[in-house]
Amino acid sequence: MKSFALPPIRNLKTDLPASLSLVIVAIPLCLGIAHASGAPIMAGLIAGVVGGLIVGFFSESNLSVSGPAAGLTTICLTSIASLGSYQGLVTALLLAGLIQIAFGYLRMGFFSNYIPTAVIKGMLSAIGLMLILKQFPHLVGYDSEELGAEDFSIDNEEIVANVLPKEHENTLSHLLHAFNYLNYAVMAIGIVSLMVLVIWELKFSKKYKMIPGSLVAVLGGTLVSLAINYFIEVNPINEEHYVNLPNLFGGEVHESLITFPAIGFVVHPGFWKVVFTLAIVASLESLLSIEAIEKLDPHKQRIDGNKELIAQGAGNMISAAIGGLPVTSVIVRGSVNIAAGAQSKWSAMLHGFFILLAILFLSKIINQIPLAALAAVLCYTGFKLIHPENFKEQFARGWYQFIPFVVTIFAIVFSDLLIGVLIGLFVSSFFIVRENYQSPVLKVDDLGLRVRIRLGNNISFLHKYQIIKVLENIEPNVVIEIDGSELQFIDPDILDVLAEFKSRCKEKNIELIIGGIRNMDTKDEINEQIEKSYKKLFENNRNWVEKRIKADPEYFQKLTNGQKPEYLFIGCSDSRVPANEITGTDPGEMFVHRNIANMVVNTDINMLSVLQYSVEVLNVKHVIVCGHYGCGGVKAALGENPLGLIDKWLRNIKDVYRLHQDEIEAIKDPEEQHRRMVEVNVKEQVFNLMKTSYVQKNRELYGFPQVHGWVYDISEGYIRDLEVDVDKDLMDHSIYKLK
């Protein structure tokens, strides 16, 4: 771990004002959380000091701020009840901090790296919404609930004693109830503070960067409060509407200032449950907060979650040792810190120092700050967190981002931070699984009697059903090639699926070829089949020779005298279109050239050499371009998938499509479109033949070769003559005619 160091002193010009803005918000939060936790008031302030000074120093984050956590109030309440005293809680917290440090050294901070952005942004928006919902009553003078409360439900401990009876059960009913208890003087303070903050941020923040708007707003609200109290004889603003920091030297604190841990609690039956609960929940909340602060950080600093756990653990051990509440990184404080213009950890550390200073010497001054002014700052912070632009951005990313975002917001608002995030993670995981299931982890090339299945990099159990579905849809009597050459990981469940499919291939007469999958390849079996099929060729050859000699003993001797083919056949390489077989010609009667999609390309030296030899040397009488329906080359050319080197060849077919695009697209039936494309491709290749000097020269000199365009119908076996009239259709284009 790198050595700890203080930030540059030059940052104080922005961090000092930011820390002042932070401390005036932090003190009421510390007091409120302590009250809501059922702990001594000083426990919250101690946690605030430790969170600022200790965690602020050890943390790697420049902008996060730690302090007592509102999300742990319920755990603190139940822990105090189960252990019998607050002393039991601080004892458990001491060991929980040690466990947090162990978590850090065990590198368990990785958890924060797996929280989806949609959940993080939903968490920020939810906190913003809760700030507005919770602080609005304070803004209008209804201060019945503690300032630091965050849960949707409202417990008795969160109700300020001797203010108003608990006539509501949750945040919404509390919000509605506030309208029945409006305090117009307090509301004036809140509205003025909010207006000052908004105007400052819009008009003056760039010019006076060193002065945070929140500090100006609180100062403005305090001045309005002083003016109201001075000019109005009957004081409409009671003490419950102000910060209530206890005076250590004025006899206000009747409880012991510091509650020390006691080792005797370790034998309590429920002690270790409390220890691990505090360690786990505090760690999760800190990691979530750090991840959220990273999203808000204008400099996008990346924080090591493991180092943060160590810093938080150290903070909790020290806080527990001197009687403080649990400490975590707190999003609200970090948000206020960023909004106030903080640049480094000086702000968090100074805020801890100022809390200590306020406890010792400044309680009377701090207590002049109206809660309505603080509520205005928190409402404005909440609005920035829940900015409508966030909803627009998440919606633009698609439903798989927007739904977890919205669910996280509602889950946090109606429960608490940790439960809400867990619900958001569950929903987000559902969409992640769904996206993984639908992602193209395999590519299927259906080549008729041959199907090639190419597997992606990582095949997990999430893709099991997808692969089963593909394999079940394969027809009998085909060759299946499964290519795993790109595989980096394959789940054992998928191997079981492939093994089961392999066992059923024989009954469906499927030839299965597997390559690139460890312990699953079929090389030995395939090599045996290959050897047999190769030897079969020689056996076929012997049978053919015997048959020919039986019919004509001089047959092969006659072939040695030379060849006089009458035809040049330019056909497709497709194995289903054998030139001699479909035309019933014997060896020596037809000169043959074949390529993909029976193309005549003016840059193809191979084809042009065959053409020149057959026309000028062999003097063939007919040159035939023969295509066939169901041509794979034509189909591939009309597709959009890149195929590598062959794309350069298929581009010639795309050029044919461009010439006949209107005609082809006017045909609605895809099968008929393909058949017509095969036909026009043959015609264009016939025209390409007529553009060559060899054909033109021989036709001018001898009147041949005649040039024909055929299409072979594989489904019927018949050849169709397209009856291309080259003299009529091509020779009008005199630019191609050579002399």
Using CA atoms, how far apart are residues 49 and 352, in angstroms rounded to an integer?
Answer: 4
The residues facing 399 across adjacent strands are: none
The H-or-E segment that residue 631 falls in is none
H/E stretch holding 131 reads: helix 117-139
Two tokens, residue 311 = 């810093």
| Nearest CA-CA partner of 37 in 77, 80, 70 | 77
* Cis before 705 (ω within 30): yes
What distances in angstroms separate CA 411 from CA 272, 324, 333, 426, 445, one per listed residue? 29, 30, 21, 11, 45
Output Rg (C-alpha) for the chain, integer angstroms: 41
DSSP strand E in 670-722: where? 706-712, 719-721
Q: How would you label 248-263 residue by residue, b for 16+ Cβ within 10 Å and e otherwise?
A: eeeeeeeeeeebebee
Residue 443: strand, helix, or coil = strand
Rounded to whole angstroms, the Cα distance separating 470 from 465 reads: 9
- The letter for the amino acid at 485 is S
- Beta strands 450-455 and 442-446 are antiparallel
- Helix spans in 386-416 (H): 388-396, 399-414
Active-site residue list: 572, 574, 576, 628, 631
DSSP letters along 352-371, please?
Answer: HHHHHHHHHH-HHHHTTSBH
- Please tell me the distance from the alpha carbon of residue 601 to that of residue 687, in angstroms, as a whole number: 11
CA distance linking residue 598 with residue 579, whole number of Å: 12
Q: Give every CB contact of residue 467 below 8 A, 6+ residues apart in sequence.
A: 442, 459, 494, 497, 498
- The end-to-end CA distance of the chain, in Å, is 85
> Are 325 and 35 in contact, with CB atoms under 8 Å apart?
no
Query: Minimal CA–CA distance to 594: which of 633, 562, 629, 565?
Result: 633
Strand pairing class (590-595; 567-572): parallel
